[in-house]
Amino acid sequence: MRTNKIFIGGKWVNSSSGKTFESFNPANGRSLGKFPQGNKSDVDNAVRAAWKAYPGWSQTPAPERAEILFTVRDLLKQNKKELAKCITMEMGKVLAESEGDVQEAIDVFEYMAGEGRRLFGHTTPSELPDKFCMTLRVPVGVFGVITPWNFPFALPAWKIAPALICGNTVVFKPSSDTPLCGIRFVELLVKAGVPAGVVNLVTGSGKDVGTPIIRHENIRGISFTGSRNTGKFIAENAGLKKVGLELGGKNGIIVMDDADLDLAVDGAVWGGFGTTGQRCTAASRVIVHKKVQKDFEKKFIARIKKLRLGSGLDSKVDVGPLVNESAVEKVQKYVGIGKKEGAGLLCGGKKLKGLFFEPTVFSDAKKGMTVAQEEIFGPVVTIIPVKNFREAIDVINSVDYGLSSSIFTRSIDNAFKAIQKIEAGITYINSSTTGAEVHLPFGGVKQTGNGTREAGMEGIDEFSETKTVYVDYSGRLQKAQDIEWGEK
Ligand code: NAD
| Residue ranges of domains in the chain, CATH in brackets | 6-247+449-469 (3.40.605.10), 252-429 (3.40.309.10)
Amino acid 486: pLDDT: 82
Catalytic residue flag (residue 166): no
Helix boundaries (H) for 284-443: 290-305, 325-341, 389-396, 412-421
* Cα separations in angstroms, 248 against 94, 133, 253, 378, 446: 22, 40, 16, 13, 10
Q: Is the CB of 104 under 6 A from ligand 1?
A: no
- Give residue 415's pLDDT: 98
CA–CA separation, 143 and 114 (whole Å):
21
| pLDDT of res. 2 | 64
| 16 within 8 A of 41, measured Cβ to Cβ | yes
Point out the catalytic residue in the list 115, 280, 297, 358. 280
Question: Cα–Cα distance between 387 and 380 in angstroms, integer?
Answer: 23
375 lines ligand 1 (CB under 6 A): yes
Written as tens digits, the pLDDT of the chain (488 aa) is 667 999 999 999 999 999 999 999 999 999 999 999 999 999 999 999 999 999 999 999 999 999 999 999 999 999 999 999 999 999 999 999 999 999 999 999 999 999 999 999 999 999 999 999 999 999 999 999 999 999 999 999 999 999 999 999 999 999 999 999 999 999 999 999 999 999 999 999 999 999 999 999 999 999 999 999 999 999 999 999 999 999 999 999 999 999 999 999 999 999 999 999 999 999 999 999 999 999 999 999 999 999 999 999 999 999 999 999 999 999 999 999 999 999 999 999 999 999 999 999 999 999 999 999 999 999 999 999 999 999 999 999 999 999 999 999 999 999 999 999 999 999 999 999 999 999 999 999 999 999 999 999 999 999 999 999 999 999 999 999 989 888 66
Distance of CA 456 to CAs 108, 184, 300, 382, 451, Å?
Answer: 9, 25, 34, 32, 15
Q: How far apart are CA 421 and CA 29, in angstroms?
A: 45
Pocket test for ligand 1, best of 39, 93, 146, 171 (most atoms within 8 A of CB): 146
Q: How far is the CA of 158 from the centre of ligand 1 (A)?
A: 15
**3-class SS of residue 373:** coil
The closest alpha carbon to 399, from 228, 252, 244, 227, belongs to 252
Of 72, 22, 52, which Cα lies nearest the Cα of 203? 22
CA of 377 to the centre of ligand 1 (A): 12
Residue among 198, 259, 216, 246 at smallest CA distance from 406: 259
Report pLDDT for 1: 62
Going from the Cα of 225 to the center of ligand 1, the distance in angstroms, rounded, reads 5
